Structure 1
Amino acid sequence: MKDQITHYPDYTGSSVAKQKFKITNWRNYNKALINRGSITFWLDDEAIQAWYESATPASRGRPQRYSDLAITTILVIKRVFRLTLRAAQGFIDSIFALMDVPLRCPDYTSVSKRAKSVNVSFKTPTRGEISHLVIDSTGLKVFGEGEWKVKKHGKDRSRIWRKLHLTVDASRHEIICADLSLNNVTDAEASPGLIRQTHRKIRSVAADGAYDTQRCHDELPRKKISALSRPEKVRVTGPVIMQTVTVQWLISE
């Protein structure tokens, strides 16, 4: 029996059969599955260089040891990873240890006091109806194999690629949701998952011809998107050449 892998189970009521893909390179496939659990995290060089306060205090009293940028960095990490102040302190200290950087995270009590004086700008996520949603994908090249692996086995000539699938609010230029997949996952396969992640009313969705498949058609009623116009082909005929222009398809309510 041939080795096969199945992507996306067949949904109830869907007329599209399961799509099966043959694995031709088990070595790269297994390595890709292992790398799903790898973690890459770093701090910006600007934050590292300006971690400690260097400016001369303008008033009397004990000078501040840590800069406003350091406090802001800690508060951002706390917010993004949903950590407590104590957990954020331990997290950043461990990052400094891994990076071999001679820095220390401020005590959580100091961060709590300084948090009232620094201005951390977080963009509030928009709510409500999305008038126009755009779906697309791009390729990402994976770097960083690990020092031990490179030392023992050398650097691989072939690089691993990932696909980043995005939905963007066209009017606000805001990324609504994103999904990272293996390179062999097509745009049409990832599209239903992206639409289901968007828990908001959508008036229209635009994408290129790669999404004009039965799988995408079947997903539209779930979000109450009623119509899908197929790509329009316009033929320009001349005495010598014939040109075909494909217009992007548009899902409209």
Structure 2
Amino acid sequence: MTIPLIGITLDSEDPGGYSNMPWYALRQNYADVITASGGLPLALPHEPEQVDAYLEKLDGLVVTGGAFDVDPSMFGATTRHDTVVTKDRRTEFEKNMAQAMLSADKPVLGICGGQQLLHVILGGTLIQHIPDEVNDALAHEQPNPRTEAGHDVAVVPGTLLHRIVGTETLDVNSAHHQAAKDVSDNITVNAVAPDGVIEGIEDNRYKFCLGVQWHPEYLISNGDKQILDAFIAACETDK
């Protein structure tokens, strides 16, 4: 059995800081945890026209997070909150890549903003700014380091996530101002924060289609490691 090749989507930044040219970015821990769980990470530049070529080679896909949002027009919203920032080429690539992988029934893991994009792809809508839509909301953009828990989530029994982590409560970190809102018939909610915010989704039509609102690559709980191990296991093939 060969090591599964795992595509990891990159963030994109405008000139400034690292380079005076546009540049890609990826936290090292995204790749570290894929390697530790038995996968071979491959960073994916935003080339929408190369989706089919990537699809042929990849065994799994991680759609990462970032300090930007899904364009509200993608889920039918007619208004756009003042806090919304988009990265259109990145989103186009990630949307096309995730849809292609799912169509081929290859595993997809969406993390934070990646979970939100997955939710939209599967027919859901988003809360554009949690403080404006959720009463008594938690600090979902936690003030403490991302290496620590921001809050816990209730894991829904009987879901794929529950089978993976084997617990009904999981400590998670939190770095988002948007969240999943309305769900489609294809979406199963698998984790919820104490304030009612959706923290995880899955679609059981596929071999492995899982989204989590937190960042398991920080490995703040054993459940985070189990999520990554299960994802890589699902990506293993007899090539």
TM-score where L is the length of structure 1:
0.20
Larger radius of gyration: 1
Of structures 1 and 2, the one with the larger relative CO (CA 8 A, separation 6+) is 2
Structure 2 length-normalised TM = 0.21
